[in-house]
Structure 1
Amino acid sequence: MITILALGPSVDVTYLVDEFFEGGTFRPTGVYRAAGGKAINAARAAVTMGADVAVVAPLGGASGQFVLDEAVAAGIRLVPVWASADTRTCISISSAASGLLTELYEQPSAITGDELARLHEGADGLLAERPGWFAISGGIPASVPVGGLAALVELAHSHGHPVAVDSHGPPLAAALSARPELLKINRAEAAEALGIEPEADAFDTAERLRALTGGTVVITDGVAGSYAVDEQGRHRAEWSGDFGRYPVGSGDSYLGGLLASLDAGGTLGDSLRLAAGCAAANALVPGAGRFAETDALAIAAEVVVS
């Protein structure tokens, strides 16, 4: 089982247009709306790969109700904490002419102290009844104290759960000392956490982060693949196929596939393959975390882990 805390849920809207440029007026050729935010995208990907997933999330207004309805329809058990702020909307615009993607992401909706306490209670309740991984994914609202992420890692540890973290900024840096069992971040986020240049050797960066957490560290690097370090050593995952036009949510899908495999008892190598398969399959279709299981498995079979 996988339990996920989603502090920054959103309504994700993807517009497909023939072309896009600043100052123009455009008629979309396709519109896709889904429950989103990094954590819910990861949850949907894990469900696609057969995992039992529950999410606790702050939701507000009609947009929050949409997220709840869509998540449940996708097979996610979502425990809402109803909040005063409306759930945000994030927009992606995909231009067929240029092949480029333009992204407009609202900041995570503010969470009050009372709402944060109720989120802790919701997570505590799920952790008490569900074995397996606990994951915290996505940006942390500015209204949450910097140490809030570390406190959530410690909450899961108090129940004996392994913890996966995929976040960024000061809350992530503060959470490293709470020693999550799995840290999955991209190359830029890893560099930011250590205060180094993104061009630094990815394995060396992962080793430095592992020295802080004591757990497995996975650094993703877009189409270049991923780098992982655990107690067994270094692992490199690569795929040489054609990448799709819709990468929004591929990092989230990577986390969902990674956790689904680890939760099912997969080795790190097998889990890196499935994670890469989910990420690449996600980019084939518009809408984050909405790929086909068959595509993810077919790509995973071609991923080389060395």
Structure 2
Amino acid sequence: MIAAIALSPSLDVTYVIERLHGIQRPLEVVRVAGGKSLNAARVAVMLGADRVAASAVLAGGAGTDIAAHARAQGLHLRIIDGHVPTRTCVSVFDRSSRELTEIYEHAVALDDIEVEHALDAAVEAMGSKRGLYLLSGGLSEDHARRAVRRVRAAGGSIALDTHGTALSGGIEEGPDLVKVNRAEAVALLGYAPDAPPDELVSGLHDRLDSATARAVVTDGADGAWSCDGAQVLHAQMAGPIGGFPVGSGDAFLGGLARAFDAGESLSNALALATGAGVANAQIPGAGLLDPSLAREIAARVEVRAYRANAPL
């Protein structure tokens, strides 16, 4: 089972327009229950996960819309009433230039009670099952630490996808999976921006508490790298990525979660995650994809051992 902990949800709106100038009537409008955790959870549902739960702190009109969209998209949602209206994030795709403009409101600051209620709701939704919890997005260091500790105390596994002090603090509590992009890994480790990706993912794994934990670093068109303590794997698919990359990292995490929930190997999980990330970029709307296309792409992803069984 999969449970998402949504501490920084948003109503994600994508406008497709002819040209970003003056007054525009959108050619297409897509609204989804967004924020990184909900995006990843929705992708896991779209890829066939049996039951995906989510707990989200929501308030105001955007919060009401998020709840409606999340449930319509198959998430078993538990709502924690927030004290500040939930944010809205907007992406504008200029069809003439193929450029994307993104306008993201800051994540709402949550108090400790709201966070504790969200964690309790996620654990209750998981019940006796020892599944995978998803924690991603903008977080405070304290809340990231609390979440990892709470999940581990409940006997669950947790995947962490955040940045800054939340990432460094959360890692110290021992997550089972960390998924970050190159820039986030570089900032955490203090490596040079052009550091070799195998060194980045190995360095990230070294920061994890458990030798069996998994580290993943995504690197845009150069694919994704993973280390599980025994090997470093590189997953890549040749060809264009797509015009709507917003949410592709979240789709990647959703693909990982779906594969691991189904008992797939790390290699197969990386292939499905890559397929999900690329499929997400084909259509407007973060965390939306054609599941058949995602699996078709996954079948064409090359995953190879970069340094199998070598000292890391």
TM-score (structure 2 length as normaliser) = 0.93
Contact 1:128 1:159 (8 Å CA) reproduced: no
Whole-Å Cα distance in 1 between the matches of residues 106 and 192 of structure 2? 25
Q: 1:181 to 1:293 in 2, by over 3 A?
A: same
Contact 1:179 1:212 (8 Å CA) reproduced: no
**Aligned letter for 1:14?**
T
Mapping 1:93-172, distance limit 5 Å: 93-140=92-139, 144=140, 146-172=141-167
Contact 1:235 1:269 (8 Å CA) reproduced: yes
Tell me the equivalent position of 2:34: 36
Whole-Å Cα distance in 1 between the matches of residues 178 and 81 of structure 2? 29
Contact 2:7 2:115 (8 Å CA) reproduced: no
Output one character per residue of 1:253-287: Cα deviation in whole Å (capped at 9) or x when no partner.
00001110011000000000000000011111111
Contact 1:272 1:305 (8 Å CA) reproduced: yes
Q: CA deviation at 1:224?
A: 1.3
**2:14 counterpart of 1:14:** yes
Contact 2:130 2:157 (8 Å CA) reproduced: no
**Aligned letter for 1:100?**
E
Any unmatched runs of 5+ in structure 1?
Answer: none
**2:225 counterpart of 1:230:** no
Q: CA deviation at 1:232?
A: 2.4
**Aligned letter for 2:15?**
Y
**2:205 counterpart of 1:210:** yes
Contact 2:55 2:119 (8 Å CA) reproduced: no
Whole-Å Cα distance in 2 between the matches of residues 84 and 147 of structure 1? 19
**Aligned letter for 1:12?**
D
Whole-Å Cα distance in 2 between the matches of residues 97 and 41 of structure 1? 27
**2:198 counterpart of 1:200:** no
Tell me the equivalent position of 2:176: 181
Output one character per residue of 1:235-270: Cα deviation in whole Å (capped at 9) or x when no partner.
000101332111111100000011100110000000
Contact 1:166 1:184 (8 Å CA) reproduced: yes
Alignment partner of 1:301: what SS?
Answer: helix
Q: CA deviation at 1:96?
A: 1.1
- Where do 4+ consecutive residues of structure 1 move more than 6 Å? none
Given candidates 13, 23, 26, the residue that maps to 1:25 is 23
Contact 1:3 1:130 (8 Å CA) reproduced: no
Q: CA deviation at 1:147?
A: 2.3
Identity of aligned residues (%): 38
Tell me the equivalent position of 2:307: none
Contact 1:153 1:178 (8 Å CA) reproduced: yes
Given candidates 266, 279, 294, the residue that maps to 2:292 is 294
Contact 2:53 2:126 (8 Å CA) reproduced: no
Output one character per residue of 1:207-251: Cα deviation in whole Å (capped at 9) or x when no partner.
111111132100001121101111321100010133211111110
Q: CA deviation at 1:116?
A: 2.1
Q: CA deviation at 1:128?
A: 3.6
Output one character per residue of 1:57-81: Cα deviation in whole Å (capped at 9) or x when no partner.
1000121011111100000011110
Whole-Å Cα distance in 1 between the matches of residues 292 and 142 of structure 2? 40
Contact 1:10 1:37 (8 Å CA) reproduced: yes
Tell me the equivalent position of 2:308: none
Q: CA deviation at 1:131?
A: 2.6
**Aligned letter for 1:300?**
A
TM-score (structure 1 length as normaliser) = 0.95
Q: CA deviation at 1:53?
A: 0.8
Whole-Å Cα distance in 2 between the matches of residues 197 and 91 of structure 1? 32
Whole-Å Cα distance in 2 between the matches of residues 45 and 65 of structure 1? 21
Whole-Å Cα distance in 1 between the matches of residues 179 and 65 of structure 2? 28
Q: 1:33 to 1:275 in 2, by over 3 A?
A: same
